[in-house]
Amino acid sequence: MVSKRKTTPFLFVCFLAFVLSSCASTPDAEKGNTSTERMAREIESSKRVNAMNEKLMTNALSIKRSSRREYKIGPQDLLEITVFEVEKLNKTVRVSSQGNVNLPLIGILKVKGLTPEELEKELRSLLAEKYLQDPHVSVLIKEFRNQQISVMGAVKNPGVFDVTGAKTILDMLAMAGGLREDAGQLLFLLRPPKAEETFQKGMGDYDRRPETFVIDLEGLLVEGNLKLNVSLLHGDVINVPNSGKVFVGGEVRSPGGFVKGKKMTLNQAIIQAGGLKFQASASETRLIRYSEKGTEKEVLTFNVYAIQKGKEKDPYLKENDIVFVPSSLMKSALGTVKDVFSASFGIGKVSVGF
């Protein structure tokens, strides 16, 4: 009897300890599984970015292209023009701030925006019209004007780069040291409007927003689709967002890019962006979703007011989704969703598919 009384409490304590340890181990096991999944995703993302960086550096070293032939002549460039039939027509001339040059027999000629090859054809045509039969002309750019191109976001060395000559996206990504491991799949190229075109067309502030090109980095770097390797212009801005982000713009209080959680809805993204402004036309909120290759987009319309009242389902967002809340004053201008982000967010017209 004495032995039985001592054994029973001992067995009860063992049973209780087993139950408690079982309960405690369940969250730990779940944490372990979550941690393993997160680590697997990070390793996969790291492998993907490393593969793209390897291709980037290889392309930067091995791709041979006639970049000088593709370059568009601009103010302050120094041109060497040779007419093989008449040595006296040969001239080295600097392009004026208006984009013109003064040449023998021809006079003042606008050359800004032309490639060297296009200028050669123009000169041949002008000389053949009055002075020479079948002239042969060569145009060489001896000095390039300085240009500034910015690279920002998930690159190793972001900044504003002073460059000369023709540059492409590959060139600038290489100059910025390649991609960071947290880089996303898409690249945004922001191109500001030309000042002279803005003045001539009398554009308002709304129309003067930058044009945006969406580039699929895997298509460019891994698959080697050089059609995506866009030639850059002075003032261009390259932005490589971090992976796992969504973007919210338009009539919200704090537009920008936001890290997408495991499950983020459209309304939650708007809340992350500070909520709606008074002038928002949230019943016509656009969700722009790019394909995995970044070359096609789907535009969906949602009524955020109805979602907030529980009358419509709140859709889950995917990585790189763009949410745009229009203004009630701009409904007619948003039929084709040409403008994606507000001016403070720095992105305007969207173009895809080069």
CA angle 226, 230, 232 (to 5 degrees): 145
pLDDT at residue 24 in the model: 46
pLDDT at residue 281 in the model: 92
Calculate the alpha carbon distances from 184 to 46, 135, 243 in Å: 11, 52, 4
pLDDT at residue 13 in the model: 46
Q: Check if the beta carbon of residue 155 is closer than 8 Å to that of residue 176.
A: yes
- The parts of the chain modelled with pLDDT lower than 50 are 1-7, 13, 15-27, 29-30, 63-64, 66, 195-207, 331-354
What is the largest distance, in Å, between two alpha-carbon atoms of the chain?
A: 129
For a pLDDT cut of 90, what percent of the chain falls above it? 36
CA angle 162, 165, 170 (to 5 degrees): 80
Q: What is the CA radius of gyration of the chain?
A: 30
> How far is it, in rounded angstroms, from Cα 108 to Cα 130?
16
Whether pTM exceeds 0.75: no
pLDDT at residue 292 in the model: 62
> How far is it, in rounded angstroms, from Cα 279 to Cα 327?
6
Phi-psi region of 169 (alpha: psi -120 to 50; beta: other; left: phi over 0): alpha
Complete domains list, the chain, with CATH: 72-143 (3.30.1950.10), 146-351 (3.10.560.10)
pLDDT at residue 200 in the model: 46
DSSP 8-state code for residue 150? E
Condensed to tens digits (0 to 9), the pLDDT of residues 22-54 reads 444 444 544 555 565 555 555 555 666 777 777
pLDDT at residue 178 in the model: 92
DSSP, collapsed to helix, strand or coil, labels residue 289 as strand
- Output b/e per residue, 129-165; b: 16+ Cβ within 10 A: eeebeebebebebeebbebebbbbbbbeebeebebee
